[in-house]
Structure 1
Amino acid sequence: MRSKRVYGLDVIRSIAISLVVISHCTFLFYTETNNPIILFTRTLGAVGVDLFFVLSGYLIGGLLLKNIESGKTSFSDLITFWKRRWLRTLPNYFLVLVLNVVLLLILGDALPKSLWLYIPFLQNFINPHPDFFTEAWSLSIEEYAYLLLPFLLYLSFFMFKKQHKKLFLKVTLIMIVALFAFKISYYFNTHVTSYKDWSSGFRKVVLYRMDAIYFGFLLVYIMNTYATFFKQNRKICISIACTVFGGTHLLIYHYSLLPQTHLGFYVFFYLPIVVLSCALLFPYCIQLKQHKFFGKVFYFLSTRSYAIYLVNYSLILLSIQRNFKIEQLAFFEKGLLLLLFLVLTLSMSQMIYAFFERPILFYRDKHVGD
């Protein structure tokens, strides 16, 4: 399994999960703060999730393109594709969902009334995500992205009797444009009073965010079509990514751009800019050569990244916050809690990966076709 991995994608996955975890680490020092450095660090956690979205689209889009090239365009091939995706994503998700339920029962808290919605991933399909197992918001977006566009793509194969890569491009572009209509509706029908309102009611809602994954579809198509160009200009791409991303956030800071005052910017421009910046990292990272030491670190973080993402916040960070009054602790004590947080996160993720996730993946690769 390790020999099939692409080192550059492991690097991207490691960067994404590191940004998420580092952003969560700040909550062990400051629960509420106006410090711009801390706030920007927390913003990088959100960027880490967007990087995951683009990576997912890149990988899934690449698999679909391979299916088209090899003639695997029947509905039975689509079912096989879904089976492999579900065996990758659903077991960990439902395991951690159960663990979150068990934790609430142990603490004596009431279970959320919307708990059943977590099974079909409908808890944030059009509404803000409930305040329970909050990491699940991004999983809902990914699951519906995997369902909707691949189904429409294979339906187009059946209807038009064509199996060309350009059909992949056309269907992807149509989906992105169609989803844009929901953003327009949000802009004209929503009153936002804070960043939190926009984040929970827009950034973390399925209908408004599936396009982030479909931009990953476009990325893999463009990089495959113009491979030589991106190989020759990979340094320019990463330079543009850093300039655009950094410049955008400097403008936000300098002009105090907030969702409640500049909603149009945050609905129509900010997230696409972040996604574009993430996408421009790929041409550079894909061509990285494996480092002897850091390669092992990236491999470890990459393979455990899904488990790390699912357990680090709701199960571990919130449990620490419930048992310790962060504001009353000395800096050294907060440092010890940080160490505890990281050790528990890595240990629990390792157990899930070694004894649950990896055996399921071996089963999938052995019994479910490519």
Structure 2
Amino acid sequence: MQTNRIFGLDVLRAIAILLVVVSHCTYIFYETTESPIIMAIRSLGAFGVDLFFVLSGYLIGGILLKHIDQNRTNFNDLFRFWKRRWLRTLPNYYLILIINIGLLILFSQKLPDSIFLYIPFLQNFSQPHSDFFNEAWSLSIEEYSYLILPLILFCALQWVRRHHSKIIVFLIVTLVLIGIQYLIKARFYSNAEVHSYQDWSSMFRKVVVYRLDAVYYGFILIYVARMYPYFIRKYDKLFLITALLLFTSTHLYIAFFSVLPQTHLGFYVFAYLPILALCCALVFPAFLKLKKQGWFGSLIYFLSTRSYAMYLVNYSIVLLSLQKLISFEAMPIYIKLGILVLFLILTLSLSNVLYRYFELPILKFRDKTYSKSNITS
């Protein structure tokens, strides 16, 4: 399964999952805290999810552009695209959903009223996500982003014959949908009452109708990389430095001026998440130049290929189960360190089993049944 893998993208995927897992490690030491350092680490976990969004958009946008290159833009091609995506994402999701339901029953807890909405990914379509299977909020955003833009794009392409015009249509459809997202966000800004970061996160950041653009920024990135490759390669270091400065200055601004969702909602609705997406996009050119080397390359490959499984199991399956079995709060630090090691071992072990014996066979079946894109997805 290493064929056609792009090492730099594997590095970004590994960084994203490490940010998520490390942010969850903090809950072993502090279930609730006001510590700026701990809150910053948890914010990096949220940034890891945004990196996943941009990465997904970059890869899926690349696949759609390849469809355009090969003139595979009829609805049979669209259905084939969807089938490949569904075989990539849905089996793991539904398996972990069933396991989460089983764990809830095992621990004698009540199933959420929205449980059946998890099947069509509607649990957070226009309302806050429940605490059950919390990772699923981002998967809903990705699934609907794969449905909506490609459907509109393929409909639009039925009226276009010239190849160059089709690529322009790809850009126009992406920009129009991002623009519509801002109109929807404006409605949220006008009507929402937000009293904390948690309110903003649950009511806005984790809701599908407000976050589809998180993936579509990756479509813009692949378009620019495709149309202006020399420019992207020439200034890759400048883009990387700009990303680091923009990310740092944005968070210094937030820290020094106490910019909170309850006091500066407009910034968090219209600017903050797009800034993070831009930071993600700007680092891509530098990472695309990386080459796989030795044991580091093998480690990156391991983390990257297991990243989806790790994302699904580390919090709801491993961490929450440990919290139900063990009370962390009053334990001495050396015991918590032992629990941290156990958490990491269980996360890596379970994700490896899930990947090797469930995810990988399904991916092989997918690639055997449906023609394979040249871009790893």
Shorter-chain-normalised TM-score: which range?
Answer: over 0.9
In the TM superposition, 1:104-143 aligns within 5 A as: 104-143=104-143
Say whether 1:86 aligns with 2:86.
yes
How far off its partner does 1:161 sit?
4.5
How far off its partner does 1:290 sit?
1.4
CA distance in 2 between partners of 1:211 and 1:195 (Å): 20
Structure 2: gaps (5+ residues): 373-377
**Cα displacement string for residues 268-307 of structure 1 (whole angstroms, at most 9, x for unaligned residues):** 1100101100111100001111121210010000000000
> In 2 relative to 1, CA 17–304 (structure 1 residues): closer, same or farther, beyond 3 Å?
same
Letter matched to residue 213 of structure 1: V
Letter matched to residue 75 of structure 1: F
Letter matched to residue 273 of structure 1: I
CA distance in 1 between partners of 2:336 and 2:349 (Å): 20
CA distance in 1 between partners of 2:19 and 2:150 (Å): 29
Letter matched to residue 231 of structure 2: F
Secondary structure at 2:88 match in 1: helix
Select which of 314, 317, 339 maps to 2:316.
314
The corresponding residue for 1:5 is 5
CA distance in 2 between partners of 1:315 and 1:60 (Å): 28
CA distance in 2 between partners of 1:162 and 1:150 (Å): 19
CA distance in 1 between partners of 2:5 and 2:160 (Å): 35
How far off its partner does 1:321 sit?
1.3
Select which of 226, 229, 238 maps to 1:227.
229
Secondary structure at 1:159 match in 2: coil
Moved over 6 A (4+): none
Letter matched to residue 261 of structure 1: T
Say whether 1:64 aligns with 2:90.
no
The corresponding residue for 2:217 is 215
In the TM superposition, 1:333-344 aligns within 5 A as: 333-344=335-346
How far off its partner does 1:3 sit?
2.5
The corresponding residue for 1:98 is 98
Letter matched to residue 27 of structure 2: F
The corresponding residue for 2:50 is 50
CA distance in 1 between partners of 2:152 and 2:318 (Å): 39
Structure 1: gaps (5+ residues): none
Count of equivalent residues: 370
Secondary structure at 2:322 match in 1: helix
CA distance in 1 between partners of 2:360 and 2:171 (Å): 33
Letter matched to residue 33 of structure 2: T
CA distance in 2 between partners of 1:65 and 1:238 (Å): 25
In the TM superposition, 1:191-340 aligns within 5 A as: 191-340=193-342
Letter matched to residue 88 of structure 2: R
CA distance in 1 between partners of 2:283 and 2:270 (Å): 22
Letter matched to residue 25 of structure 2: C
**Cα displacement string for residues 180-224 of structure 1 (whole angstroms, at most 9, x for unaligned residues):** 111000000000011000000000000110101000000000011
How far off its partner does 1:369 sit?
2.2
How far off its partner does 1:35 sit?
1.2
Secondary structure at 2:128 match in 1: coil
The corresponding residue for 1:351 is 353
CA distance in 2 between partners of 1:86 and 1:232 (Å): 37
How far off its partner does 1:159 sit?
3.4
Secondary structure at 2:3 match in 1: helix
| Structure 1 vs Structure 2 CA RMSD | 0.8
CA distance in 1 between partners of 2:78 and 2:185 (Å): 29
Secondary structure at 1:326 match in 2: coil
How far off its partner does 1:160 sit?
4.0
The corresponding residue for 2:375 is none
Secondary structure at 2:134 match in 1: coil
CA distance in 2 between partners of 1:128 and 1:110 (Å): 18
